Amino acid sequence: MQRVVSRLDALVLFVTIVAIPVALWGAFLHAPTEQTMGAVQRIFYFHVPSAIMAYVAVVVLLGSSIVYLSRRDLAWDDLSKAATEVCLLFCTLVLITGPIWAKPAWGTWWTWEARLTSTLVLEILLIAALMVRRYAGNRDLGARLAAIIGITIAADVYVVHKAVDWWRGMHPEVFKAGNRGSLDERMTSVLFICMGAMFLLCITLIRLRYRTARIETRTEALRLERLD
């Protein structure tokens, strides 16, 4: 079973390594240049998938946080930690690529629009979840506090997702019934290729970080045993 899992991990890693250059080729060479915004629109192929992968990581974070609170199994806390760090990575990418697009589109790097503000809150909550692990008095306390923040993060992601519907604002909705057919066919195909590559990267990073976290947990347990 261990060998099968290792081979599967190796296959996923290989496909990820292949998929990323294909996504870059699609975003920069295959997709046509948008007529209104020009080349800066290509940031769209990284901004949108990064936001969706942050959602994916939050799903893992929410599930592992709930299970940890019910079972107190450190393996689930390690998974929660891995998902938190990967989500922070993609959320940071969203906050970097968003203003790059917003400057030519809106004429400003930042506006306190509902979706942008709630995404910034998400970034702060992710950092807080990592900080309580480091500065809590003990591992269990830090894990419990991080799990509670993890559930709060999931609630904030729902706010991010619904922000445009609830408070309108300038942020465009990419996946909406009324928007079907608004993208060029090649743009749509490249977007989905980029999402596929980002998904593979997200899963690979969570998996690798989880393995590292498990090693860290076991090492710390052995250290405490020796001290006793």
pLDDT tens digits along 183-218: 778 888 999 999 999 999 999 999 999 999 999 999
CB 57 within 8 A of CB 202: yes
d(CA 10, CA 85): 22
pTM of this structure = 0.90
Give the list of residues 6+ apart from residue 110 with CB closer than 8 angstroms, or none.
99, 102, 116
Dump strand ranges (E) for 136-201.
none
Token digits of residue 138: 């003990």
The 3-state DSSP class for residue 32 equals coil
Alpha-carbon span 157 to 58, nearest angstrom: 8
CA–CA separation, 216 vs 228, rounded Å? 19
Q: What is the pLDDT of residues 11-51, one digit of tens each?
A: 888 899 999 999 999 999 888 888 878 888 899 899 999 99
Q: What contacts 207, CB < 8 A, 6 or more positions away?
A: 9, 12, 82
| Cα(2)–Cα(10) distance, integer angstroms | 12
Token pair listed for 88: 């922070």
